[in-house]
Amino acid sequence: MNLVLIGMPGSGKSTVGKILSRMLCMPLVDTDAMVEAAAGETIPELFAREGEAAFRDRETAAARQAAELDNTVIATGGGIILQPENMAALSATGLIFFRDRALEDILGEDHMGRPLVGKDPDKLRILYTQRIELYQKYAQYTISHTKTAEEAAARIAALYR
């Protein structure tokens, strides 16, 4: 069974994933890193060259590949919930955890490498409003009110054991 982390950009999925992977001695993959490795380009480069729709197709391919793994922590890009087939594939082989980090904390992160957010806090607020229901819908467990990534990882590990 995989452990799949979903949530907003800047909610700390990759950081929580690293801690969780160490805690549980499970390998870690990240769908953003899979897309970048397959394309040989960074996400901002892909968005600039191909646009968002092409990125979403690449992300779906990465989600399918990740879903074929087992006993792996899977950190995902914030938009993974936009395509139902991604979540169908990932939930077939994994438990889905939504890290519902407070919007104010997310706003405090650096979003420069994120083409859909960049420097504009309003873009993040809009994404949050548009997506919150989807994160909740797909999550088996919502990890909220956890200030630190360590706390979030510990909560997930406790639920999994």
List of residues contacting ligand S3P (CB under 6 A): 9, 13, 32, 43, 77-79, 114-116
Q: Which is nearer to ligand S3P, 16 or 26 (CB)?
A: 16
Q: Which is nearer to ligand S3P, 7 or 94 (CB)?
A: 7
Rounded to whole angstroms, how far apart are CA atoms 44 and 100? 25
Q: Is 123 annotated as a binding residue?
A: no
Least distance from C-beta 161 to ligand S3P, angstroms? 26
Q: Is 131 annotated as a binding residue?
A: yes
Closest Cα to residue 32, out of 53, 51, 56, 50?
56
Q: Which is nearer to ligand S3P, 10 or 94 (CB)?
A: 10
| Residues flagged as binding site for substrate | 32, 56, 78, 131
| Residues flagged as binding site for ATP | 10-15, 114
| Residues flagged as binding site | 10-15, 32, 56, 78, 114, 131
